[in-house]
Amino acid sequence: MRVCLLLLWLACGAAAAERALFVAGLGGEPDYEQRFQSLAREGAGLAGGEALAGPQASKQALRDAIARAASGLGEADTLLLVLIGHGTYDGLSYKFNLPGPDAAADELRSWLDAVKARQIVVLATSASGAALKELAHPRRAVFAATRSGMEKNAVTFPRYFVEALRDPAADTDKNETVSALEAFRYATQKTAAFFETQKRIATEHAAMEDPAGVGRVALVRFGAAQAALADPAKRALLARREKIEVEIEKLKREKAALPIGEYKKRLQALLVALASLQEEIER
C-alpha cells in the first residue's frame, strides 16, 4: 500500500510561477493501486514533472509535500493539487484515503489556507462532492469528480482529467493552452459519454466551486503558447493574458449584480485587452 506524490516545478521567469502536486491515494486492491499511480505519473509526465513514491508516504507526507510545493509562492502564483484515488463520506466529513490515517477535508483546508498562492484543487475521488463547500475559498478553484458525498463508487473522472492534458480538443477557446476549467469540462463530458456508451446509469456527476475564476489558469501549453515560454517577454504576456481571462470569468459571475451598461463596458475593455495581448504573443 503506497501513496505516490508527484511534485512538478514550472519556472516562468517574469511570469507567475506555477507548481503542481499530484497525489495517488490508497488503492486497496492491486488494480486500483496500479491505476491511480499510473494516472498520477502520466499527469506529471505530460507536464514534465517528477514522480516521487514510497511506502513511507502518509497524511503527514501529504501535508509536508503541500508545504514544500507552496514554499516561496506569492499571491500571483499558482499551486495545483490533484488527488487521485478513493474518498469516503460518513455523513459528516469527506476523507481522502491514505495508508494510515486518512486526510479529512478540514485538514486539507487548513493546509491550503496557509498557502499564499491561488490554488486549483482537483478531487478526483469518490464522494469528493462532500468537500466542495468545505474547501471553498475566494482564491481557490475546487473541482470534484462527484456532486455529493453519496456518490461513493470508484470514479472514471480522473482518467479523462489526465487525458485532457494531452488532447488538444480540450482547448475549447483555441488559445493553445488547456486551463483547469477546460480540463474539468472535458473530463465531465467524457465521463458522461462513457456511461452513455456503456449503457450504464451514471454513478458520478462532477461539480465545482470557483468564485473568483481561478480555474482559467493554464495547466498545459502547446504550439505557439509553449514556444513562448522560451521568451521572457512572452512569458510575461502569457501571465497577463491569464490574469485577464480570470478577470473575465469573475466579471461574468458578477453580471447579475451590475448595471447592464457597466457590465458590457467592462467586458468590452477586457476583451479588447485580451485580443491585443494575443496578437503580441503570436508575433
Looking at the fold, whether 151 and 135 belong to one and the same domain comes out as: yes
Looking at the fold, whether 140 and 263 belong to one and the same domain comes out as: no
**Distance between CA atoms of 276 and 194, rounded to whole angstroms?**
39
- Lowest model confidence (mean pLDDT) among 184-188, 207-211, 239-243: 239-243
**Closest by Cα among 22, 241, 246, 49 to 121:** 22
Q: What is the pLDDT of residue 172?
A: 94
Q: What is the pLDDT of residue 115?
A: 96
* pLDDT score of 238 more than 50: yes
What's the average model confidence in pLDDT over 42-48?
A: 74
More confident of the two residues 24 and 235? 24
Looking at the fold, whether 67 and 176 belong to one and the same domain comes out as: yes
Confidence (pTM): 0.82
Q: What is the pLDDT of residue 267?
A: 87
Of 207, 223, 239, the residue at which a domain comes to its end is 223
Q: What is the pLDDT of residue 160?
A: 96
For the stretch 261-282, pLDDT in tens is 998 889 888 888 878 877 777 6
For 152, 160, 171, 181, the CA distances from 39, given in Å and listed in that order, are 20, 10, 20, 19
Looking at the fold, whether 233 and 214 belong to one and the same domain comes out as: no
Of 183, 198, 223, the residue at which a domain comes to its end is 223
Residues forming a β-bridge with 140: 119, 137
For 4, 30, 246, the CA distances from 252, given in Å and listed in that order, are 38, 45, 10
For the stretch 101-117, pLDDT in tens is 999 999 999 999 999 99
What's the average model confidence in pLDDT over 9-21?
A: 53
The total number of structural domains in the chain stands at: 2
Q: What is the pLDDT of residue 237?
A: 77
Looking at the fold, whether 140 and 254 belong to one and the same domain comes out as: no
Of 223, 240, 264, the residue at which a domain comes to its end is 223
Looking at the fold, whether 30 and 152 belong to one and the same domain comes out as: yes
SS3 string of 111-173? HHHCCCCEEEEEEEECCHHHHHHHHCECCEEEEECCCCCCCCCCCCHHHHHHHHCCCHHHCCC
The model's confidence at residue 38, banded by pLDDT at 50, 70 and 90, is confident
More confident of the two residues 235 and 69? 69
* pLDDT score of 13 more than 70: no
Looking at the fold, whether 144 and 271 belong to one and the same domain comes out as: no
More confident of the two residues 124 and 272? 124
Looking at the fold, whether 92 and 43 belong to one and the same domain comes out as: yes
**Distance between CA atoms of 227 and 137, rounded to whole angstroms?**
33
Q: What is the pLDDT of residue 278?
A: 72
More confident of the two residues 84 and 283? 84
Strands 118-125 and 140-144: parallel
**Which structural domain, as residue segments, surrounds residue 186?**
3-223
Looking at the fold, whether 145 and 242 belong to one and the same domain comes out as: no
CATH number of the domain within which 181 lies: 3.40.50
Looking at the fold, whether 218 and 242 belong to one and the same domain comes out as: no
Backbone angles phi, psi at 94, to 5 degrees: -85, 140
More confident of the two residues 208 and 221? 208
Please state, rounded to an integer, the average pLDDT across all residues of the chain.
85
**Distance between CA atoms of 49 and 41, rounded to whole angstroms?**
8
Backbone angles phi, psi at 103, to 5 degrees: -95, 120
Looking at the fold, whether 12 and 88 belong to one and the same domain comes out as: yes
* pLDDT score of 14 more than 60: no
What's the average model confidence in pLDDT over 49-69?
A: 76
Looking at the fold, whether 11 and 28 belong to one and the same domain comes out as: yes
